[in-house]
Chain A
Amino acid sequence: MIGYAPGRSVVHRAHPYTPLVIASGLLLVAFAVRSPLAVWTVVAAALLFAAVAGVLGPVLRPAALLALPTWALLTVLHGLLGGPPHVAVGPLAFSVQGGERALVFGGRLAAILLAFLTALATVSPARLVEAMTVRGVRFGRIYLLVSTLTVVPRLRDRARRIIDAQQCRGLRLGGSPLARVRALGPLVVPLILSALAEVDEQALALDVRGASVDGARTPLETPEDHAADRAVRWGVLVLVVAAYAAKFLGRAP
């Protein structure tokens, strides 16, 4: 699952900025630490974040699907092609240092995916619009951010409609791997073309409804920013600053 999934968890109910700050904090800390153990501790924190949000299951699958090809590549590049010392794994010589590097890079990727997929699943676009409106952010910037966060579900819905339409015209999606690759053309081309065609009409529709009007919009259901939300966000900031201070002092774990 990639995209917002309504829920009642404490993360869903938090101010929309809070999950985004936590996800950004996990990303930054993952790049501040150096050892495989420290990086995978950040991964564990990201898993905990997803579990508390009640989206661990739905987030794990796309995270694994997105990470696995890169993990495989990292293993080959750093593990098998890395420098000495090597350890024998069956018929293969596996680089110890390369393996550590693969663990670090792979862990960072996992932490980023888990953290941001969790944020995407828990931040309601409507509440984020309201929160940013209250802060006086211009609508153009709000739309840029929120439409980026919602692009995957929108493309998925459109792809579903195109698949239905093309199957009605006789497109077969099953069969051999070659047949599946061939079937991609009639799906991907209309998907891209319709997305491009939609841009004009949607820009027009937004403009008509005052999106380009300068000045403040009226917030309708302002999300509450509790003391706990602010404390969490300040906590993340302190953690990030501490992690980078340690990194630049050469003491990062």
Chain B
Amino acid sequence: MSALLRFDGCGYRYPGAAAPALADLTLAVGGGEVVAVAGPVGAGTSTLLLVAGGYAPRLLGGTLEGTRVSEARRPAIVFATPWTQVTGLFQSVRGEVAFGPASFALPRERVLALTAEALERLGATHLAGRDPAGLSGGELQRVIVAGALAMEPDLLLLDDPAAELDPAGADALYGLLPRLAERGVAVLVATPDLVRAARVATRAVALREGRVVGDGPPARVLG
């Protein structure tokens, strides 16, 4: 399996930060892997996802050291809080989910098909005509995840994606990850929910103070 994403002695420092958020990171992730990224608050799990997707330092500033090589054609990231990820431009969930694929000038029918498929995967088809502004946090987070899936990402980065979901919603989301991996998608999920992560991950990476302190089978790394 060739690596979709590779870090070699990589470090990242936020603008103005005294200490690096990531240091001496060496890691390779291939398509079809579900990697659980775990660590205490401040360990650098969210930062790892931002750097993996190429959003840091490109959009956030800061400095990157070492080598980061990504073959990902279309990465997508989902954060914990849905309200900051909604575009605010659409009065329907369908429009919100279609925003991503529509950005890539795909044919209209293809955009609508991807939108419908993503909503179905998240069990959110019944929300398609609703105004995103009127949804609960859990419903909106499902819409945001659907928006990411509708883009057909080859690298999916999930930062505590179930924080707003109820247990059934969280189970459904985590249950989706192996199915995405079967399609060749590389999934990195940073989460404090080690039980669900251990259930679906093919591998786990533990971070502490921005450094990898464990990398291997979830049962071993997550304890």
A139 at the interface (CB under 8 A from B): yes
A to B contact number (C-beta, < 8 Å) = 89
Taking CB atoms, residues of chain A closer than 8 Å to B148 are 208-209
Contact indicator B95/A210 (Cβ below 8 Å): no
Quick one: given A126-B90, A220-B108, are A139 and B85 in contact (CB under 8 Å)?
Answer: no
| Among listed A25-33, A56-64, A81-89, A211-219, interface-contacting one | A211-219
Taking CB atoms, residues of chain A closer than 8 Å to B95 are 126, 220-221
> What is the CA–CA distance of A41 and B22 in the complex, to the nearest angstrom?
65
B17 at the interface (CB under 8 A from A): no
> What is the CA–CA distance of A154 and B84 in the complex, to the nearest angstrom?
11
Taking CB atoms, residues of chain B closer than 8 Å to A205 are 79, 84-87
Quick one: given A125-B90, A126-B95, are A220 and B102 in contact (CB under 8 Å)?
Answer: yes
A126-159 interface code vs B (CB 8 A; 1 in, 0 out): 1001000000000100010011001000100100
Contact indicator A204/B105 (Cβ below 8 Å): no
Contact indicator B100/A210 (Cβ below 8 Å): yes
| Among listed A67-75, A167-175, A180-188, A194-202, interface-contacting one | A194-202
Contact indicator B133/A220 (Cβ below 8 Å): no
B85 (CB) vs chain A CBs: closest residue: A205
Contact indicator A209/B90 (Cβ below 8 Å): no
Quick one: given A198-B84, A205-B84, A220-B111, are A211 and B103 in contact (CB under 8 Å)?
Answer: yes
Contact indicator A125/B91 (Cβ below 8 Å): yes
Quick one: given A217-B103, A220-B112, are A150 and B147 in contact (CB under 8 Å)?
Answer: no
Contact indicator B133/A218 (Cβ below 8 Å): no
B53 at the interface (CB under 8 A from A): yes
Quick one: given A208-B75, A209-B147, A213-B104, are A201 and B60 in contact (CB under 8 Å)?
Answer: no
> What is the CA–CA distance of A131 and B75 in the complex, to the nearest angstrom?
28
Contact indicator A202/B85 (Cβ below 8 Å): yes
A6 at the interface (CB under 8 A from B): yes
> What is the CA–CA distance of A224 and B86 in the complex, to the nearest angstrom?
26
Quick one: given A201-B79, A210-B103, A210-B104, are A129 and B55 in contact (CB under 8 Å)?
Answer: no
B206-217 interface code vs A (CB 8 A; 1 in, 0 out): 000000000000
Q: Is the interface of A mostly helix, strand, loop or mixed?
A: helix
A122 at the interface (CB under 8 A from B): no
> What is the CA–CA distance of A147 and B87 in the complex, to the nearest angstrom?
9
Quick one: given A143-B89, A209-B147, are A202 and B84 in contact (CB under 8 Å)?
Answer: yes
Central interface residue in A139, A198, A218, by most chain B CB within 10 Å: A218
A202 (CB) vs chain B CBs: closest residue: B84
B135-179 interface code vs A (CB 8 A; 1 in, 0 out): 000000000000110010000000000000000000000000000
B179-218 interface code vs A (CB 8 A; 1 in, 0 out): 0000000000000000000000000000000000000000
Contact indicator A129/B111 (Cβ below 8 Å): no
B88 at the interface (CB under 8 A from A): yes
Quick one: given A126-B89, A201-B84, are A208 and B53 in contact (CB under 8 Å)?
Answer: yes
B18 at the interface (CB under 8 A from A): no
Besides A129-B89, A217-B102, 17 more A-B contacts (Cβ < 8 Å) are A124-B91, A129-B90, A139-B103, A200-B60, A204-B59, A205-B85, A207-B59, A208-B75, A208-B77, A208-B100, A208-B148, A209-B100, A210-B104, A213-B103, A215-B105, A218-B106, A221-B95
Interface residues of A (CB under 8 A from B): 4, 6, 124-126, 129, 139, 143, 146-147, 150, 154, 157, 198, 200-211, 213, 215-221
A-B contact pairs, 30 of them (CB 8 A): A125-B91, A126-B89, A126-B90, A139-B103, A147-B89, A150-B88, A150-B89, A154-B88, A198-B84, A202-B84, A203-B59, A204-B55, A205-B84, A207-B55, A208-B76, A208-B77, A208-B148, A209-B76, A209-B99, A209-B100, A210-B100, A211-B103, A217-B105, A218-B104, A218-B105, A218-B106, A218-B107, A220-B95, A220-B108, A220-B111
Interface residues of B (CB under 8 A from A): 53, 55, 59-60, 75-77, 79, 81, 84-92, 95, 98-108, 111-112, 133, 147-148, 151
List 5 A-B pairs, minimum CB-CB distance, nearest first: A210-B103, A209-B100, A205-B85, A201-B84, A218-B102
